[in-house]
Amino acid sequence: MDFTAGKLSNEHKEQLRCASESADPLTVSALQISPKSPRSPKSPKSPKSPRSPGDRHSKHGSDRGSSLKHKKSSHSPRDGRPKKGGCGGKGTWGGLMDTDDVHAIDPNDPNYTSSEDTERTSTKDMVAAFEEYKKKAIILVEEYFQNDDITSTANELRELGMSCYDFYFIKKLVSMAMDRHDKEKEMAAVLLSALYAEVIKPQQVYKGFSKLLESADDFIVDIPDAIDILALFIARAVVDDILPPAFLAKANSSLPKDSKGIEVIKRAEKSYLSAPLHAEIIERRWGGSKNKTVEDVKDKINNLLIEYVVSGEKNEACRCINNLNMRFFHHEIVKRAIIMAMEKQQAESRLLDLLKKTTEEGLINSSQLSKGFNRIIDNIDDLSLDIPNARMIFQSIISKGASEGWLCISSLKSLSTQLEKQEIDEKLVKEFKLKAQSMIKEYFLSGDIEEVSRILESENSSCLAELNAIFVKKLITLAMDRKNREKEMASVLLSSVCFPADDVVNGFVMLIEAADDTALDIPIVVEDLAMFLARAEVDEVLTPQHMEEIGSQFFEPNSIGNKVVLMAKSLLKGRLSGERILRCWGGGGSSTNGWAIDDVKDKIRKLLEEFESGGDAKEAYRCIKDLGMPFFHHEVVKKSLVIIIEKKSERLWGFLKECFSMGLITMYQMTKGFARVAESLDDLALDVPDAEKQFKVYVERAEAEGWLDSTFSFNRLGHNSMENGFC
């Protein structure tokens, strides 16, 4: 085994040094020649005695003598190491005791390998190179914040020639911007977007943000709002398409549970990326694009496409698209390029080549491409008024894109379905509108939901989506011009007719599009529409995803659609929002004045007690349905669990299982019910000492049954992770 200094780590060296210092002096002296040896007179002279040049080069063997004389020899200018390249001469530790880096590896050593010098030199060079890179990266960031010159910064970063360390540049840029003003934060975000793929590889960007999350605990010491700022940087990176959305989930699984990085990820997901119109909001958070309006961007897109058709310069067109720095709005480029190709068929080939190039190079991603095509599918009939044979031309463009491999047909809506939807006889539509109006007015007088459902089935026997959407629009429009009683009745009817969610979404879109005209008669149209939209989500007629879908069609900041969706989201965020929205018009889930929440709780308690004591299951299911409050079914879950824990009732557990399997209680309501029980465990433990132990068992059983979603996690300290729960 080679014990030369070149192969020992600093830790091993330290251990050997400590071992030598703590060695038994008797053991060491045993290696020396006794003073009584006959050779002791030949011991070297005192250092003060004159020495010949020949004596200076004598071997260690001539230095043998007393212990004292051996120590005196250490004052010699010689370093005292053995000249041999191995482990030292007789009576010495040799290379084993060498702890500094001055002693070089001897190529004549029988244990020497050629890789030793290379490894040692390579490691030192890498460390030195990384330290040098760190210093230059800090200088680059400081200079960029002063001059705001992206091109110069990009060139200097390239000249460093150490792309394997670019993750550190990402980390340093963001961490330095976090402690500065919004101007520097926006500059950092713009620079990251500009350098992505062109200068810094995607893997380095991914690694850089991973390092930032790992350092979140350190950032918060100096930057109190570090969690929010870093979350916004990550959300901005996702919006700018320099981080994949999957980054959040992967990073979440790799970080320790008590890490501040987990909080950053949750903040990015819930506060930023899940918000309506999140792309525009995030883009403008630090003042970015504040001078850009949607119309300005559309004009720029139109101009660059016109210039490209004339010049044919693909690279210049790609540069202009990149300089827009609005990746989330690239679907507008796709839409306008295709419409221009349909209008000017002589330019079709050139425009499709541009779409092909931008798609293959990743400048326009597949989701933006599909969104652009789908927007045209939605408006193909309007285009047909201005462009003869628009449908046939568009179908030809889709076929060309698919055959060339840059367009995925499976990601597009069905053009034939759109045709069927739009070719409904206009006379039929007019007749249905008149009948719907008469039907709704009669319902406001009688409150007979079953009669309305029967007439709807007869009038729309084919279940045409457009007629369903027209009915939704007509119902809410008539209700908005009446009193709270009719508004409440309209919401109840909407949750009772069981239209497909997409038809309800289309109905709300039609309502919002006509809101400008409606506002002439109903000044508070925005508030009313927002409340109807929020109520539809509370009644589980729509889901949060449908809300996002509606919002995506009205992205202009000052549009009525944008205001309606934002207000609806705001109403839904409040604590106990379900109860407040339910009672906003004085109702409680029925066409009558409704029940008070305490009355509903009492009814639920009684029906569960009756069932638990031997009542009929079908009757219990019917009673729950008759409550007409699907958003309040978590109360059924909570009270059932309390009885189960108190009485260990398997009958009620089976009841919950059946309610879940038949869709009477949704996963969201089931999860919310378990969360409420977790919050009240301390009170429950006063009556049932082992309540917590039992509850853990039932949580495991519920997870095995698939009742709980990923938002629920029970632990004794925090109880659960559900938000905005009921008390």
pLDDT digits (tens, 9 = 90+) for 685-702: 888 888 888 999 999 898
Could you give the C-alpha distances from 485 to 488, 490, 526, 530, 585, in angstroms and in order? Answer: 5, 9, 19, 17, 7
Q: What would the DSSP string read from start to end of 517-551? A: HHTTT-TTHHHHHHHHHHHHHHTTSS-HHHHHHHH
**What is the phi/psi pair of residue 719, to 5°?**
65, -65
**Closest residue by Cα to residue 480 from 436, 445, 531:** 531
Residue 386: both structure tokens together: 């201005």
Write down the pLDDT at residue 686.
87
Between helix 150-160 and helix 182-195 the angle, nearest 10°, is 60
Write down the pLDDT at residue 262.
93
Q: Which regions of the chain are under pLDDT 50?
A: 1-7, 18-78, 83-85, 90, 95-103, 290-291, 417-423, 588-594, 716-727
Could you give the C-alpha distances from 486 to 121, 284, 582, 636, in angstroms and in order? Answer: 84, 40, 14, 29
Write down the pLDDT at residue 90.
47
The DSSP call for residue 593 is S
The DSSP call for residue 719 is B
**Closest residue by Cα to residue 16 from 32, 29, 4:** 4
| Helix (H/G/I), strand (E/B), else coil: 176 | helix
Residue 481: both structure tokens together: 């011009």
Write down the pLDDT at residue 264.
94
CA dihedral for 128, 133, 136, 141, sign (positive or negative):
negative
- The structure's pTM equals 0.34
